[in-house]
Amino acid sequence: MTDTFTTRTIDVTTGSAETVHDLTSACAGFLRETARGRDGLLNVFTPHATAGLAVIETGAGSDDDLLEALRSLLPADDRWRHRHGSPGHGRDHVLPALVPPHATLPVVGGELALGTWQSVVLVDTNRDNPRRTARLSFLA
């Protein structure tokens, strides 16, 4: 089974501010080591109740636009029943319903088959947790 399924956990430092953290190069590096020219699927999963994964364009303002949209949809105020942590932290627990904690992506010839402007990103609005993990799993 080791020839058809390989998995690894990576550590991600997101800091103390809302962030969109690009995982694309980590995913590509993992596939270089594990896919070895094969076709398959890459599953990316973050085991956190307050973070999610997305496939978006980065570097042209879309990452900031995503955070702004989330602030609009999920304001950090006192409306949330889940109240521990920073003010408005309850919204961080709703985030994975909108930005899921997983993404499954095609791998062709050992490389991530993303569109020209697409990147795989970890979305973290929880300022209380500066360290995250992501599990990368390749299935051939």
Residue range 105-120: mean pLDDT, rounded: 98
pLDDT-above-90 percentage for the chain: 91
Tell me the average pLDDT across 14-41. 97
Strand partners, 6: 138
Give the chain's mean pLDDT.
95
| 50-90 pLDDT tens trace | 999 999 999 999 999 999 999 999 999 999 998 888 888 99
Angle at 25 between CA 51 and CA 30, to 5 degrees: 90
Q: What is the mean pLDDT of residues 131-136?
A: 98
